[in-house]
Amino acid sequence: AQTVTQSQPEMSVQEAETVTLSCTYDTSESNYYLFWYKQPPSRQMILVIRQEAYKQQNATENRFSVNFQKAAKSFSLKISDSQLGDTAMYFCAFRFAGGTSYGKLTFGQGTILTVHP
């Protein structure tokens, strides 16, 4: 079974600065997807960014980008120009791309990010 590990329970950053959240995973599969979800205090789960394992290019969504290192099984999230609204719990998640996975996600433990003014 695959596992996802987020080794940073909590992080903090000053507004307008850059922060990187770490995620590692373990799988024997070669075809899969990786995600970062944001959970603000409202509890709503919001997709931040998605990476397909067969793509070498790192995904980018506005201020959010990833550093995907397939050989190292590492998938970190970089938030540039941090904003107060980025304060949330961030989850890294894994999904197999084929077989009978039917979109089942495996989540990491989460990292609480606090952005200070």
Partner 1 sequence: NAGVTQTPKFQVLKTGQSMTLQCAQDMNHNSMYWYRQDPGMGLRLIYYSASEGTTDKGEVPNGYNVSRLNKREFSLRLESAAPSQTSVYFCASSAGTGRKDTQYFGPGTRLTVL
Report the number of secondary-structure helices (H) and strands (E) in the chain.
Answer: 0, 12
Can you read off the two tokens belonging to residue 40?
């603000």
Please select the residue that binds partner 1; options are 91, 96, 113, 115, rule is CB under 8 A: 91
Residue 26 in the binding site for partner 1 (CB under 8 A):
no
For residues 33 to 72, the per-residue mask of contacts with partner 1, x marking binding by CB under 8 A and - elsewhere, is x--------xxxx-x--x-x--------------------
CA atoms of 101 and 116, how far apart (whole Å): 39
Can you read off the two tokens belonging to residue 39?
């959970």
Please select the residue that binds partner 1; options are 8, 22, 63, 107, rule is CB under 8 A: 107
Cβ contact 82:13 at 8 Å: yes
Q: Which stretch binds partner 1 (CB under 8 A): 18-26, 64-72, 76-84, 98-106?
A: 98-106
